[in-house]
Amino acid sequence: MSRVNGSGSQDPHVEVSRVRLRFGSREVFRDLSCDFPRGAISIVMGGSGAGKSTLLRLIGGLLRPDAGEITVGGDRTSGTSPAEVLRARRRLGMLFQNGALLDSMSIFENVALPLREHTENGEAEIAERVSARLASVGLEGVEALLPRELSGGMLRRAALARAIVMDPEIVLCDEPFSGLDPPNVARIEELLRDLNRSRGLTLIVSSHHIASSLRLADQLVLLQGGASICGDPGELSESHDPRITEFLGADARAHVALRAAAEAKA
Amino acid sequence: MKALVARLGRACIGFVSGLGAITRFAGAIGVVVLTRPWRFRSLSRQLYDAGALSFVLISASGMTVGMVLALQGYNTLTRFGAESSLGAVVGLSLIRELGPVLTALLVTGRAGSAKAAEIGAMVTTEQLDGLRMMSIDPVDYVATPRALAIFFAMPLLTAFFILFGILGGYLVGVNFLGLDSGTYLASLETSVDFRDDIVAAFLKAGIFGMLVGLISTYRGTTCTPTTEGVSAATTSTVVTASVCILVSDYVITALWGV
């Protein structure tokens, strides 16, 4: 990992250390290291094929690296112990790019699924919790609908409700803004910020949506050439490193300045 | 020549590793079957899908096969003056061989391919990864109820195939060819042995059900997450399961005379 200001992150919740990964002849990560601080919003950025979604899948233990180690709150998701991976996953929720809701089940059944599988809660308690989570993402009255009956933005929010229903410590969000119109992007952005502030969730978000990322992130992780460059949005937008300026573009400073002004006003 | 040997070697390694992977998958299903929670609701839904919805196809096919058997059998038996044995010929052919094998091939085409495609589509849309991230094992939640449903449905559907086949044979033999009803039924009754024929037919059906359930769910869960991958998984299910049914049919018959 290289950091633009040279310092390591404080209290890492997720640690990725010297990860190497190949898909056939294509090298995705070459000695990738990066930390994701506890309670922060980290946004993983990079061009197409840089490995943003792959990094999230590695953190979630859906893929195993060829070398290196990934720990989630101290438990390795890169190891071979299924018990350790399961323990780590209990701390994780994941929002997939297309929602990944079970299409044969209603929205209610989808959100209730982890509760039914992993808790002894009664039906009334489950119904209450599902309704609360759906309300917290701004979805009410959709419980009986099937995933295919929802719009893209609503689907993403329903999937987010499922991801947080077990109160995880960390939520991985794979491209939550892709394919959404600006009002829906703003809505998801607000939801993620709210989840981070109100619940203290650690959010690791993959995105190529630069404006949203600069507005939302506490830490940016830029993936390039199989390695990472980390820093906060201010640091990265001020950087003269061509790898960073080329990706973030000329408007980066303006976005960061707008965010600073909005935060000062708030 | 060297390239040919290399290709042969790669094919052999691929075959053996595939065999190992499907054996591990079968082991995982075995563990799920023996441990709680048992997903009866999901199983009954899958049983309805694989079994009840295949009923019309199986009954119609069984009846047609029985009718053809009666026609062909009658023409052959007449040459030897043994047309009174038509019931035995139709019954034994259906019970010992055609019932289990044709039912298994039909279930492979209807339910097996559908299960592979369904699970493959779930892989493509990351639904199985979604389950993994919720610490829910897709083998337990998705594959096992589907594999078990095919396993349980197969003997029942085989029974219906045989029943409708015998009925078809009766209709052609008695109503169309003018054979005496009592002769047809008596020859059937005296020639069919419960243990050697009927139990053996269900044994075959059970083995075929296990193979089709296992192959279809394995191909679905291991499919490449693309549209082409789903299509390949479906085709591969039909081809692999059909070959396995025919080969295992020979092995069972050769070993146990069933």
- What is the structure's pLDDT at A172? 95
Long-range contacts of B37-46 (CB under 8 A, 24+ apart): B39/B140, B39/B141, B39/B144, B39/B145, B42/B141, B42/B145, B43/B145, B43/B148, B43/B149, B43/B152, B45/B145, B46/B145, B46/B146, B46/B148, B46/B149
B31 touches chain A (CB under 8 A): no
Please check whether residues B6 and B66 belong to one and the same domain.
no
Please check whether residues B83 and B137 belong to one and the same domain.
yes
CA distance B1 to chain A (A): 26
Are residues A103 and B136, on separate chains, in Cβ contact within 8 Å?
A: no
Please check whether residues B8 and B100 belong to one and the same domain.
no
Domain annotation covers residue B43 = no
- What is the structure's pLDDT at A209? 84
CA distance A241 to chain B (A): 36
Residue of A50, A103, A20, A116 whose CA lies nearest to B37: A116
CA distance B34 to chain A (A): 18
Domain annotation covers residue B222 = yes
Are the beta carbons of B25 and B218 closer than 8 angstroms? Answer: yes
Of A62, A92, A162, nearest to B129 by CB-CB distance is: A62
Are the beta carbons of B98 and B165 closer than 8 angstroms? Answer: yes
Residue of B nearest to A62 (CA): B129
Of A100, A162, A172, nearest to B126 by CB-CB distance is: A100
- What is the structure's pLDDT at B258? 63
Domain annotation covers residue B148 = yes
Looking at beta carbons, which residues of chain B come within 8 Å of A97?
126
Are residues A93 and B133, on separate chains, in Cβ contact within 8 Å?
A: yes
Burial of residue A203 (number of CB atoms within 10 Å: 0-12, 13-18, 19+): buried
Are the beta carbons of A232 and A220 closer than 8 angstroms? Answer: yes
Please check whether residues B115 and B22 belong to one and the same domain.
no
- What is the structure's pLDDT at A7? 45
Of B129, B132, B134, nearest to A113 by CB-CB distance is: B134
Domain annotation covers residue B76 = yes
Outline where B35-143 has alpha helix (H): 40-50, 55-79, 86-92, 99-107, 113-124, 127-133, 138
Looking at beta carbons, which residues of chain B come within 8 Å of A112?
none
Helix (H) or strand (E) holding B215: helix B200-221
Q: How far is CA B258 from CA A168, A208, B208, B210, B254, in A?
A: 56, 63, 14, 18, 8
Domain annotation covers residue B44 = no
Residues of A contacting chain B (CB within 8 angstroms) = 57, 60-62, 86, 89-90, 92-94, 96-98, 100-103, 113-114, 117-118, 162, 166, 172
- The span from the CA of B157 to the CA of B161, in Å, is 6
Are residues A103 and B125, on separate chains, in Cβ contact within 8 Å?
A: yes
Domain boundaries, chain A: 2-91+170-265, 103-167
Please check whether residues B108 and B181 belong to one and the same domain.
yes
pLDDT in tens for each of the 266 residues of chain A?
565 544 455 678 899 999 999 998 899 999 899 999 999 999 999 888 889 999 999 999 999 999 999 999 888 888 778 888 888 899 999 999 988 999 999 999 999 999 999 999 999 999 999 999 999 988 888 999 999 999 988 999 999 999 999 999 999 999 998 888 888 888 889 999 998 999 899 999 999 888 888 888 999 999 988 888 888 888 887 777 877 877 777 676 666 767 777 777 76
The residue among A91, A97, A102 with the most chain B CBs within 10 A of its CB, best to mutate, is A102
Q: How many domains does chain B have?
A: 2
The residue among B135, B136, B142, B146 with the most chain A CBs within 10 A of its CB, best to mutate, is B135
Residues lower than pLDDT 70 in chain B = 258
Are the beta carbons of B115 and B220 closer than 8 angstroms? Answer: yes
- The span from the CA of A233 to the CA of A214, in Å, is 6
- The span from the CA of A23 to the CA of B73, in Å, is 59
Residue of B nearest to A102 (CA): B127
B126 touches chain A (CB under 8 A): yes
pLDDT tens per residue across span A114-170:
999 999 999 999 999 999 999 998 888 899 999 999 998 899 999 999 999 999 999
- Average pLDDT of chain A is 87
Are the beta carbons of A70 and A243 closer than 8 angstroms? Answer: no
Confirm whether the ipTM is greater than 0.95. no
The residue among B133, B146, B221 with the most chain A CBs within 10 A of its CB, best to mutate, is B133
For residue B180, which phi and psi values (nearest 5 degrees)? -70, 135
B193 touches chain A (CB under 8 A): no
How many CB atoms sit inside 10 A of residue A257's CB? 13
Are the beta carbons of B244 and B215 closer than 8 angstroms? Answer: yes
Of B122, B129, B134, nearest to A114 by CB-CB distance is: B134
Burial of residue B7 (number of CB atoms within 10 Å: 0-12, 13-18, 19+): exposed
- What is the structure's pLDDT at A240? 79
Please check whether residues B233 and B145 belong to one and the same domain.
yes
B134 touches chain A (CB under 8 A): yes
The DSSP symbol for A23 reads E
Domain annotation covers residue B62 = yes
Are the beta carbons of A75 and A87 closer than 8 angstroms? Answer: yes
Domain annotation covers residue B121 = yes
- Angle at which helices B113-124 and B200-221 cross, to 10°: 20
Edge-to-edge strand ranges of the sheet holding A2-3: A2-3, A227-231, A219-224, A41-45, A202-206, A170-174, A92-95
Per the structure, the complete domain to which residue B26 belongs is given by 1-35
User: Class of the A2-91+170-265 domain?
Assistant: alpha beta
Domain annotation covers residue B190 = yes
- What is the structure's pLDDT at A261? 72
- The span from the CA of B2 to the CA of B14, in Å, is 18
Please check whether residues B134 and B27 belong to one and the same domain.
no
- The span from the CA of A174 to the CA of A196, in Å, is 16
Residue of A34, A100, A43 whose CA lies nearest to A70: A34
B129 touches chain A (CB under 8 A): yes
Of B126, B131, B134, nearest to A98 by CB-CB distance is: B126
Burial of residue A221 (number of CB atoms within 10 Å: 0-12, 13-18, 19+): buried
pLDDT tens per residue across span B138-190:
999 999 999 999 999 999 999 999 999 999 999 999 999 999 999 999 999 99
